Amino acid sequence: MRMAAHYFTVTWDQLHRDAKALAWRLHARGPWTGIVAITRGGLIPAAIIARELECRLIESICVVTYEDERRGTPVVTKPPAAAGDGAGWLIVDDLVDTGATAQLVRGLLPKAHFATIYAKPAGKPVVDTFITEVSQDTWILFPWDTEPQFVPPLARGPA
């Protein structure tokens, strides 16, 4: 497994704050017909945003892109049937990285508004709205992928 140059750990509290901040930005652009969550990473942000925007129609698109930290070619395993061409719909994902998944989803829903919590420089041009930019060589550790554990003090590690 290839290791990223930098890691950015996101806690549940931080994710919730950032998703609410995204909802705040998206509120003025609504109302939305519905939300399309990109699985799996977009499911929890989409739930938070749906609550904040009082949106009751939630669709999903299942896209497989990563195996651990290895990126592959995105494959749609379930299309977002209810969303049509995306007109009036909001697409939500946790992160846009290279933009490959976002471009695939945009191709299916060209009229939708695309929003992510986090964006890397290569994928940033593909989304319409995001909250936080991180460097391209940063791997974001989301709360559903981590658990708290003991870490020795810095003084015990290599200099």
68, 94, 128, 137: the catalytic one is 94
- Per residue in 40-68, pLDDT (tens digit) is 999 999 999 999 999 999 999 999 886 66
13, 18, 85, 97: the catalytic one is 97
Supply the pLDDT for residue 106.
96
Supply the pLDDT for residue 100.
93
> Which CATH code for domain 6-144?
3.40.50.2020
Supply the pLDDT for residue 69.
62
Annotated active-site residue 18? The verdict is no
The residue ranges of the chain whose pLDDT is under 70 are 1-4, 66-70, 159
Annotated active-site residue 97? The verdict is yes
Residue 21 CA to residue 128 CA, distance in Å, equals 15
Supply the pLDDT for residue 1.
43
Annotated active-site residue 137? The verdict is no
Instruction: Indicate the burial class of 37 (C-beta count within 10 angstroms; 0-12, 13-18, 19 or more).
Output: buried
13, 18, 68, 93: the catalytic one is 93
Supply the pLDDT for residue 51.
98
Instruction: Indicate the burial class of 38 (C-beta count within 10 angstroms; 0-12, 13-18, 19 or more).
Output: buried
